[in-house]
Amino acid sequence: MTQITAMRVNDPRSFGKVGLLVGGDSAEREVSLNGGKAVLAALQRKQVETELFDGSAALFEAIRAGRVDRVFNLVHGPGGEDGTIQGALQLMGIPITGTGLLGSALSMDKVRSKWVWQRRRICTPPFKLLEPGDELPEKAVEQWGMPLFVKPAGLGSSIGISRVSDAREIPAAISLARQYSEDVIVEPEIRGSEYFAGIVGDIALPLIRIETPREFYDYTAKYESDDTQYFCPCGLPEDVEADMQARALAAFHSLDCSGWGRVDFIMDHAGKAWFLEVNTTPGMTDHSLVPQAAAQIGIDFDELVWRILESSL
C-alpha cells in the first residue's frame, strides 16, 4: 500500500512568485500547452502567485525583472526535459521543479540511459544505436526477428516512433525518426503488458496498465484516442506490484532523477520486467497517467500540482 507523506508547506506564499514554463519549440509543444492550462488553473485555485510563460526567452526576461522566484517546468522534450533549462536556471539561482541538469540530460538520451541501466543490471530491451549515416545491419534483423521498434534517441510522447513488421519498412522508419533526432535506436518488440509507474517525491504511485487497439501506445493513443483503456488498480498481485514499484523507483534514481516523473516498463508473458524509459516531465493533460495514478491514493489534481511545485523547494 502506497504511503502518502505530509506536504512540506501549506502556505502558498512559501513559493513566492512562480513562473509556469510551457510550450517550447519541440515536437511535444501542443502537449505542453494543453497541460499548462490545467496546471495554471490548479495553481490559481491554490492561490499560488503564478505567471505563464511560453518559452524560455520570455521567462528569462521576467527573471531579470524580478518577477519570478522559482519555475514550474512543463516543457517536454528538447529545451525543457534535456537539462538545458535546468542548467540555465541553476546559473541564475532560480529553483525549478523536478530533476536537475544531469538527470534530465541523461534520462532524455535513450541510449545513455539504457547504458546506465545495463551497467546497473536493470533489465532493458537490447538495442542497436544508429548514428548519422548508419544503416541497420541485417544480422540484427536475423537475431531479433520482427516486429522491431525504431525510435528517435532523444524525444518523448512516442513522436517519431515506428513499429516495423516488414524489413522493407525499416529505411522509412529510420528516416522518420531522424526527423526528430540525429541518433536513432532500434530494438526488438517485447511482447507483454505495458505498465507505468508515476513518481512523486520518493513515492512510486500505483501502477497503471494500459490497453490500446492501436499497434502500440503511440501519440494518438496517449493524447487523442478515447479507445485507450487504463487499469488502476493494474491487476497485479499486491506483492508483485509493490516489488515493481520499488524497482521502478530504483530505475528512476539510477539516472539521478528526482522530484517527480514516470517510469515505463513492459512485463513479458514470463513475468519479467523490461524497463523502457524515464520521463522527467510527464504530461499533465486529462489523458495523462500521473494524475490518474495519484487519484488512486487520494491525491487530486490540485494537490498533485502543489506536491510537484514542492520539489523546487
Give residue-wise pLDDT tens across range 33-68: 999 999 999 999 999 999 999 999 999 999 999 999
Whether 184 is in a domain gets the answer: yes
What is the pLDDT averaged over residues 76-81? 91
- Bridge pairing between strands 203-204 and 184-188: unpaired
Give per-residue pLDDT as tens, 85-107. 999 999 999 999 999 999 999 99
- 42 and 117 together in one domain: no
- 116 and 226 together in one domain: yes
Whether 6 is in a domain gets the answer: no
pLDDT(32) > 70 = yes
- 167 and 35 together in one domain: no
- 116 and 141 together in one domain: no
One-letter amino acid of 100: G
Quick one: cell of 192?
507483454
- 144 and 230 together in one domain: no
- The CATH number of residue 91's host domain is 3.40.50.20
- 38 and 79 together in one domain: yes
- 195 and 214 together in one domain: yes
Number of domains in the chain: 3
Provide the annotated active-site residues.
Answer: 28, 157, 223, 262, 264, 277, 279, 283
- The CATH number of residue 168's host domain is 3.30.1490.20
pLDDT(231) > 80 = yes
Whether 2 is in a domain gets the answer: no
- 90 and 140 together in one domain: no
pLDDT(3) > 80 = no
pLDDT of the residue at 156: 58
Residues 108 and 102: their CA atoms lie apart, in Å, by 10
- 237 and 119 together in one domain: yes
Least confident of 27-36, 129-138, 149-158, 259-268: 149-158
What is the pLDDT averaged over residues 144-165? 85
Residue 55, CB-side half-sphere exposure with 13 Å CA sphere: 5
- Judge contact between 252 and 313, C-beta under 8 A: no
Indicate the burial class of 102 (C-beta count within 10 angstroms; 0-12, 13-18, 19 or more).
Answer: middle
Whether 200 is in a domain gets the answer: yes
What is the pLDDT averaged over residues 220-229? 66
End of a domain among 165, 188, 211?
188
pLDDT of the residue at 228: 83
Whether 246 is in a domain gets the answer: yes
pLDDT of the residue at 198: 98
pLDDT of the residue at 258: 97
Measured CA to CA in angstroms, residue 131 lies from 137, 185, 277 at distances of 13, 9, 20
Whether 76 is in a domain gets the answer: yes
- 170 and 247 together in one domain: no
Crossing angle between the packed helical segments 110-119 and 101-108, to the nearest 10 degrees: 100
pLDDT(78) > 90 = no
The separation between CA 222 and the C-alpha centre of its own chain, rounded to angstroms, equals: 12
Whether 1 is in a domain gets the answer: no
- Judge contact between 173 and 133, C-beta under 8 A: no
- Judge contact between 282 and 45, C-beta under 8 A: no
- Judge contact between 258 and 100, C-beta under 8 A: yes
Q: What are phi and psi of 199, to 5 degrees?
A: -120, 130
End of a domain among 188, 206, 239?
188
- 89 and 230 together in one domain: no
- Judge contact between 266 and 276, C-beta under 8 A: yes
Would you state the torsion angle of the CA atoms of residues 199, 125, 185, 198, taken in this order, to the nearest 10 degrees?
-10
One-letter amino acid of 265: F
pLDDT of the residue at 223: 55
What is the pLDDT averaged over residues 96-120? 96
End of a domain among 98, 116, 142?
98
Query: By residue range, what is the domain housing residue 146?
Result: 128-188
Average pLDDT over the chain, rounded to an integer:
92
What is the SS3 string spanning the chain? CCCCCCCCCCCHHHHCCEEEEECCCCCCHHHHHHHHHHHHHHHHHCCCCEEEEECHHHHHHHHHCCCCCEEEECCCCCCCCCCHHHHHHHHHCCCECCCCHHHHHHHHCHHHHHHHHHHCCCCCCCCEEECCCCCCCHHHHHHHCCCEEEEECCCCCCCCCEEECCHHHHHHHHHHHCCCCCCEEEEECCCEEEEEEEEECCEECCCEEEECCCCCCCHHHHHCCCCCEEECCCCCCHHHHHHHHHHHHHHHHHCCCCCEEEEEEEEECCCCEEEEEEECCCCCCCCCHHHHHHHCCCCCHHHHHHHHHHCCC
- 255 and 210 together in one domain: yes
The pTM for the full model equals: 0.91
Strongest mean pLDDT among 23-37, 184-198, 211-225: 184-198
Whether 3 is in a domain gets the answer: no
- Judge contact between 73 and 96, C-beta under 8 A: yes
